[in-house]
Chains A and B, each alone.
Chain A
Amino acid sequence: MDINRIFKSDIHIKILKFFHENQASIDTPRGVATWIGEERGKVKTALEDLVNAKILVAHRATSTTGYSYTNDDKIISKVKKLLKSKESS
């Protein structure tokens, strides 16, 4: 899923906004679902999309998977720009 397609989905934007505002956060699908007020199953799928797009990092363990924001400066500034344009539109 490319970054522009991601920005057409509300749930993906909500997740991105959460991680962009809380860049040190690592959370499970259940945690993220709570913070953004969406259903866990949908959040889980969207989180994996964002991992594939290299915007999020998945920390996989046997009991759960923790998701965190990328450390890549370029991706972060691109997301910042897109979130800003989304807010102003």
Chain B
Amino acid sequence: MDEITNANTYQKGLFEKLRKSVSLKKEEECIACLIKPAAWWTIEKPNPKLADLKKLVSCSCPHYKASSAGKDTGCIKIIYKVIQKARETKALTKFACVHNLHGFIYPIMNEGTLYGYIGSCYKKRDVTPEVLEIFATFTDTLVREIQKELELAKLYETVRPRAIALSTVHTVHRLISSTLDLTELIPRIARLSLQIMRANRCSIKLVDSKRKILLPKATVDLRKKNVMLKKVKVGRHAPGRAFKYGRPIRGRDYLAVPLIDEDTIGVITVYDKIDRKPFTQFDQEIISTLAEQAVIAIKNAQLYKEQERITMGSIKSLAKVLDTRAPGTYVPRASFLKIALLIGQEMHLDIENMKSLEYAAILHDAGEIVVPYELLTKPSKLTSKEYELVKSHPMAGVELIKHMKVLKSVTPIILYHHENYDGTGYPKGLKKEQIPIGARIMAVVGAFEAMITKRTYRSVRKISDAIEEVKKNSGTQFDPKVVSVFLRVINRKDVQQALEKELYGH
């Protein structure tokens, strides 16, 4: 059926272009000059009926009009027979009509298929073979050109929508591959699915295999601001069935597609198309392609999260080991971590720098493992030799973590967190912006922490005193910009509460 429709469309297009063709008109005029007067007609069917021919000839042949007033069909019958002959021979065929006038029929062909004919009659003289050859060659060239044009137009119509769809798939892939944060990724996939499906609602659920339940991770509904996140049992409703059977489940107003990698991890379901039309097979194919990309992005983000958990676990274990030397010194306190991260956030650090800051907040003094415990807890002033040993701890910290590639970006913070803003710090005496931003933040937070937490070698300061000390050293020991952000952060009610709870237990 499609082939017939395509052939009909092609035939229609071919004759439409022939009718409009300026070149063909000129050719007809040229031929007419040689064999005047001439009448022309195009027969847009390979098997025309007598009635079709009568209509055509009666319109274009003045002799026919004048002599028979449409009653004499002898002439038409001759043309009809000639057309049958031309159809068989697939070649230009000449004829002479009842009025002893000459004419010819030329079949229009493409790759062995006959589409129709160009005919001419009302010629008082017979047409010479040379003229006919010129006509045939010219017409063939013209038909071939039109055929090429039609094929190009058809190609454009077929390829363009697919190319646009492919480009959409590529853009979606780029958009969902650019984040490894699951809390950002899953709502993004939901929004993109809505857009591609032109649907009103999309829900993404991931499986909790132990409980055989699908947990809602993101639901976007264009009609509502607040949406209910619903759990679904495996096997129940469209998402549950799509998950259970591992194939799309499509209804008039819903389409659920499983997220399958090596195993099925969840389901994307879209509901209610904006134009209220039912979901189609094409929709199913498009959302399935998106699901294939989504599952890879989700798996990558899950793996990244897992790797982060492992890294954080290793760092915390390392801190725990170090803490056995001086209990309470190395195990991170949540409130100081919070202060460091809030400063980083306010200073617009990117995700990678924030992560490095978080790790460095735990590990910045790990290198003190090379400093004898007696030295770290010595209440009296250190000798210059002893001080040199203490000053080696940032480098020792770097040595300690250098084999953990994942902590590569943390090393500058650890190495330079004892540099002073005015260049009087160690190990390199770096100044101002030469000191990495993470290290400048860590310098403030580390010093503040050391002042207000318990140390065996000196007394604890009050929070307010420690803040004053930080302020006093702004511009010399510390970066004034960091100090200014620190002062804003430290005055936050939630930070104050977290500090007091952790330090004083209330």
A62 CA to B168 CA, complexed, in Å: 18
Quick check: A26 and B161 within 8 Å, CB to CB?
A: no
The verdict on B194 contacting chain A, using a C-beta distance below 8 Å, is yes
Residues of the B chain whose Cβ atoms lie less than 8 Å from the Cβ of A31: 167, 170-171
A66 CA to B174 CA, complexed, in Å: 9
Residues of the A chain whose Cβ atoms lie less than 8 Å from the Cβ of B338: none
A43 to chain B, nearest CB (A): 14
Residues of the B chain whose Cβ atoms lie less than 8 Å from the Cβ of A52: none
Quick check: A59 and B198 within 8 Å, CB to CB?
A: no
Residues of the B chain whose Cβ atoms lie less than 8 Å from the Cβ of A4: none
1/0 per residue B198-211: CB within 8 Å of A? 10100000000000
Quick check: A24 and B178 within 8 Å, CB to CB?
A: no
Quick check: B192 and A59 within 8 Å, CB to CB?
A: yes
Quick check: B178 and A62 within 8 Å, CB to CB?
A: yes
Quick check: B174 and A64 within 8 Å, CB to CB?
A: yes
A53 to chain B, nearest CB (A): 18
User: Given the interface contacts A26-B195, A71-B194, A71-B274, does A59 sit within 8 Å of B222 by beta carbon?
Assistant: no
Quick check: B286 and A27 within 8 Å, CB to CB?
A: no
- The answer, among A27, A59, A64, for a CB contact under 8 Å with B188, is A59
Number of cross-chain contacts by CB at 8 Å: 67
Quick check: B274 and A26 within 8 Å, CB to CB?
A: no
User: Given the interface contacts A24-B196, A24-B197, does A35 sit within 8 Å of B164 by beta carbon?
Assistant: yes
Q: Of all chain A residues, which has the CB nearest B350?
A: A62
A38 to chain B, nearest CB (A): 16
Residues of the A chain whose Cβ atoms lie less than 8 Å from the Cβ of B161: 22
Residues of the B chain whose Cβ atoms lie less than 8 Å from the Cβ of A24: 165, 168, 195-198, 286
Quick check: A66 and B171 within 8 Å, CB to CB?
A: yes
Quick check: A27 and B168 within 8 Å, CB to CB?
A: yes
1/0 per residue B279-297: CB within 8 Å of A? 0000000100000000000
Quick check: A71 and B198 within 8 Å, CB to CB?
A: yes
Report the interface size for chain A: residues with CB under 8 A from the other chain.
Answer: 21
Residues of the B chain whose Cβ atoms lie less than 8 Å from the Cβ of A34: 167
Residues of the A chain whose Cβ atoms lie less than 8 Å from the Cβ of B191: 59
B107 to chain A, nearest CB (A): 39
* Chain A, 49-78, CB within 8 A of any chain B CB: 57, 59, 61-64, 66, 68-69, 71, 73
Quick check: A27 and B274 within 8 Å, CB to CB?
A: no
B115 to chain A, nearest CB (A): 31
Residues of the A chain whose Cβ atoms lie less than 8 Å from the Cβ of B195: 24, 26, 57, 59, 68-69, 71
The verdict on A45 contacting chain B, using a C-beta distance below 8 Å, is no
* Chain B, 259-279, CB within 8 A of any chain A CB: 274
Q: Of all chain A residues, which has the CB nearest B179?
A: A61
A63 CA to B177 CA, complexed, in Å: 9
Residues of the A chain whose Cβ atoms lie less than 8 Å from the Cβ of B178: 61-64
- The answer, among A25, A64, A68, A73, for a CB contact under 8 Å with B164, is A25
The verdict on B172 contacting chain A, using a C-beta distance below 8 Å, is yes
User: Given the interface contacts A22-B164, A24-B198, A71-B194, does A66 sit within 8 Å of B175 by beta carbon?
Assistant: yes
Residues of the B chain whose Cβ atoms lie less than 8 Å from the Cβ of A68: 195
B136 to chain A, nearest CB (A): 39
- The answer, among A57, A61, A69, for a CB contact under 8 Å with B174, is A61
Quick check: B194 and A26 within 8 Å, CB to CB?
A: no
A33 to chain B, nearest CB (A): 11
User: Given the interface contacts A59-B192, A71-B198, A71-B222, does A26 sit within 8 Å of B164 by beta carbon?
Assistant: no
B439 to chain A, nearest CB (A): 25
A78 to chain B, nearest CB (A): 15
- The answer, among B165, B171, B179, B222, for a CB contact under 8 Å with A64, is B171
A23 CA to B170 CA, complexed, in Å: 16
Residues of the A chain whose Cβ atoms lie less than 8 Å from the Cβ of B171: 26-28, 31, 64, 66
1/0 per residue B146-174: CB within 8 Å of A? 00000000000000010011011011101
Other contacts beyond A24-B195, A64-B178: 13, CB < 8 A? A22-B164, A24-B168, A24-B196, A24-B286, A26-B196, A31-B171, A35-B164, A61-B174, A61-B175, A61-B178, A63-B177, A69-B195, A71-B200
The contact sample of 18 A-B pairs, CB cut-off 8 A, is: A24-B165, A24-B168, A24-B197, A24-B198, A26-B175, A28-B174, A31-B170, A35-B167, A59-B175, A59-B188, A59-B192, A61-B175, A62-B178, A66-B171, A66-B175, A71-B195, A71-B198, A71-B274
Q: Which 6 A-B residue pairs are closest in the complex by CB-CB distance? A: A61-B178, A63-B178, A66-B171, A68-B195, A31-B167, A61-B175
